[in-house]
């Protein structure tokens, strides 16, 4: 799987279920981790990164998806040398996918020479 395939799978979920209930998701190898039960006062982007740290995946390859705005989900592919991102935004009719060069809320790559 690559980031485009993961984003397409996420997009299919969003088209079926919408963005509001999308739970942060991590796929590392054959393991799928969906983060449920996040308190409303906790930002899902922070919860995702905390789970990555708890699972010890900082230096691993993994895909992730997380609601990053009211009508937006960010997907990404993280490796030991950096992270690539895509943004899925709800439009009036359907969704739009755009590539992001950086992601201001993603802190796992900070301090790294890329």
Domain ranges of the chain: 3-100
What pLDDT shows up at residue 114? 40
Helix (H, G, I), strand (E, B) or coil at 38: coil
Total-model pTM: 0.93
Closest CA to 3 of 103, 107, 91: 103
Residue 111 scores a pLDDT above 90: no
The alpha carbon torsion through 105, 109, 112, 114 (nearest 10 deg) reads: -100
Summarize pLDDT for 25-47 with one digit per residue, the tens. Answer: 999 999 999 999 999 999 999 99
């Amino acid at each position: 799987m690559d980031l485009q395939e993961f984003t397409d799978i996420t997009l299919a979920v969003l088209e079926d279920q919408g963005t509001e209930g999308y739970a942060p998701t991590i796929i590392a190898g054959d393991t799928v981790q969906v983060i449920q039960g996040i308190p409303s006062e906790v930002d899902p982007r922070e919860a995702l990164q905390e789970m990555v740290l708890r699972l010890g995946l900082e230096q691993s390859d993994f895909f992730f998806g997380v609601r990053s705005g009211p009508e937006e989900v960010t997907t990404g592919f993280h490796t030991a040398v950096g992270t690539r991102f895509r943004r899925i935004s709800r439009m009036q009719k359907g969704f739009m996918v755009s590539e992001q060069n950086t992601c201001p809320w993603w802190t796992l790559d900070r301090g790294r020479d890329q």
